A = this chain, B = another copy of it.
Amino acid sequence: MAGNATAISRLFDGQLRAVNAGLAMFAEAPIAHGASVTALDWRPPAEGDREVGLLLARLQDDPADPIGRTVAAANAEAVERLLAAQPLLVDIRPAHEALGLTDTRLLHSGPPIPWERMCGPVRGAIVGAILFEGWATSPDQAEALAGSGAIGFSPCHHHGAVGPMAGVISPSMPVVVVENAAGGTRAHATLNEGLGKVLRFGAYDASVLERLRWFRDVLGPTLSAALGASGPIDLRSLTGQALQMGDEGHNRNIAATSLFTRTLAPSIVRTADTATAAAVLDFLRGNDHFFLNLSMAACKSALDAAHGITGSSVVTAMSRNGVEFGIRLSGTGDRWFTSPVGVPDGLYFPGYGPDDANPDLGDSAITETFGIGGFAMAAAPAIVRFVGGTAADALELTRLMNRITLARNPAYALPSLAFAGTPTAIDARLVVDSGIAPVINTGIAHRQAGIGQIGAGITRAPLGCFAAGIGALASSLGLASAGVPAPATAAPGSGVTA
Binding site for B on A (CB under 8 A): 241, 244-247, 254-255, 257-259, 261-263, 265-266, 269-270, 274, 277-278, 281-282, 284-285, 381-382, 385, 390-392, 415-419
State in angstroms the CA–CA spacing of A395 and B390 once bound together: 15
State in angstroms the CA–CA spacing of A278 and B266 once bound together: 5
Which residue of the partner chain, among B258, B262, B270, contacts A274 with CB atoms under 8 Å?
B270
Which residue of the partner chain, among B262, B390, B415, contacts A382 with CB atoms under 8 Å?
B415
State in angstroms the CA–CA spacing of A269 and B418 once bound together: 41
Which residues from B are CB-within-8-Å of A415? 246, 381-382, 385, 391
State in angstroms the CA–CA spacing of A28 and B349 once bound together: 62
State in angstroms the CA–CA spacing of A247 and B265 once bound together: 22
Q: Smallest Cβ distance from A443 to chain B, in angstroms?
A: 20
Q: A245-B245, A258-B262, A381-B416 are in contact. List 4 more A-B contacts (CB 8 A).
A: A245-B254, A261-B265, A262-B281, A392-B418
What are 7 of the A-B contact pairs (CB < 8 Å)?
Answer: A258-B262, A265-B265, A269-B274, A269-B277, A385-B415, A391-B418, A391-B419
Interface majority SS (helix, strand, loop, mixed), chain A: helix
Q: Please judge, given known A-B contacts A259-B258, A261-B261, A274-B274, whether A266 and B282 are in contact too, CB under 8 Å.
A: yes
Contact A285 B270 (CB under 8 A): no
A258: nearest chain-B partner, CB-CB:
B258
Which residue of the partner chain, among B246, B265, B284, B419, contacts A385 with CB atoms under 8 Å?
B419
Contact B274 A278 (CB under 8 A): no
Contact A281 B255 (CB under 8 A): no
Which residue of the partner chain, among B262, B282, B284, B381, contacts A284 with CB atoms under 8 Å?
B262
Which residues from B are CB-within-8-Å of A258? 255, 258-259, 261-262
State in angstroms the CA–CA spacing of A262 and B281 once bound together: 8
Which residues from B are CB-within-8-Å of A241? 254
Q: Smallest Cβ distance from A454 to chain B, in angstroms?
A: 25
Which residues from B are CB-within-8-Å of A381? 415-416, 419
Contact A281 B265 (CB under 8 A): yes
Which residues from B are CB-within-8-Å of A274? 269-270, 274
Contact B245 A266 (CB under 8 A): no
Which residues from B are CB-within-8-Å of A281? 262, 265-266, 269
Contact A285 B266 (CB under 8 A): yes
State in angstroms the CA–CA spacing of A257 and B241 once bound together: 14
A263: nearest chain-B partner, CB-CB:
B285
State in angstroms the CA–CA spacing of A335 and B254 once bound together: 44
